[in-house]
Amino acid sequence: MNGILLAVPALLPIAAGMAILASGYGAEDERTYRCLEFVVEGLVLLNSLLIAVVIAGRSGLDHGLVLFKLYGNLTVRFKLDRMGSVFAGLVAFLWPLATLYSFEYMRHEKRRVSFFAYYLMTYGVTAGIAFSGNLVTMYLFYELLTLVTFPLVLHPMTKEAMRASRKYLYYSIGGAAFAFIGLIFVIQYSATGTTEFVPGGVLSMAAAEGNRGMLLFVYILAFFGFGVKAAVFP
C-alpha cells in the first residue's frame, strides 16, 4: 500500500475546509444549507472510509511517510501503530454521527459555513494526531488543533463565548508551553536524535542517569501539557 495514504485523511479535510472558507460560499437559506450538509457529510464519510482503509492495510505501511525534515533527524512523519489505529478508528466512527447531529444543531445559527469549514479542518487535524509517527508531529498537530478549534468556541460571538474562548486560549497556550518543554528534553536525551514512537522509547538511559528527578518533573509538565487539550476540547 502506498504510504501517501497515511497523509490523505489528515490533509484532505484541512484542504477542504480551507477551500470552503476561501470560496465565500453562503448558506443562509434552506436550499444552500442542504447543499452544504451534503458536501460536508460526503467529505466526512469519505475521510472515515479512507481511515478504515489505512487501518485495514496498516501492515503494509510499516515504514510510514515522512512529509518533510525539520532539522537533523527531526521530521514530520506519519505512521500508524496499534494505539493510533484504535484512536483513528474511534474518530472515524464517531465523527459522521456527530456531523449528523451538528446539522440540526446549527440549523438556526449564523455563519454556518465558517463553522463547518473549521469543523472539517478539526477532523483532519485530529486524524493527524492519530497518525503521528513521532512526538514532534504529534506536538505540531496538537497545537494546530488549538488554531482550528478556537473559532468553534468563539462562533456564537456572545459575551459568554468570548469569555470561554479567552479561557480556552489561555489553557491551550499554557499547555503548549509545558508540552514544548517535554519535547525539548526528549530531543536532548534521545539516544537516536529522534522522537519516534518505538517500543521502549528513545531516551538514552546513560544520559538520563543522574537526572531522573529532573526528567520526572519534565514528564509531569508534558503530561499536563498534552492533557490540557484533552480536558478543554470544546
Q: What is the pLDDT of residue 234?
A: 45
Answer yes or no: is pLDDT of 27 > 70: no
Give the rounded percent of residues in the chain with a pLDDT score beyond 90.
40
Q: Which amino acid is at 160?
A: E
The string of pLDDT tens digits covering residues 175-203 is: 899 999 989 888 888 877 788 888 777 87
The string of pLDDT tens digits covering residues 85-114 is: 999 999 999 999 999 999 888 887 788 888
Q: Average pLDDT of 24-44? A: 81
Q: What is the pLDDT of residue 89?
A: 96
Q: What is the pLDDT of residue 127?
A: 96
The string of pLDDT tens digits covering residues 137-162 is: 999 999 999 999 999 998 888 888 89
Instruction: Transcribe the chain into DSSP letters.
Output: --GGGGTHHHHHHHHHHHHHHHHT----SHHHHHHHHHHHHHHHHHHHHHHHHHHHTGGGGTT-EEEEEEETTEEEEE---HHHHHHHHHHHHHHHHHHHHHHHHTTT-S-HHHHHHHHHHHHHHHHHHHTB-BHHHHHHHHHHHHHHHHHHHHTT-SHHHHHHHHHHHHHHHHHHHHHHHHHHHHHHTBSSS--B--TT-SB-HHHHTT-HHHHHHHHHHHHHHHHHHHHH--
Indicate the pTM of the whole model: 0.90
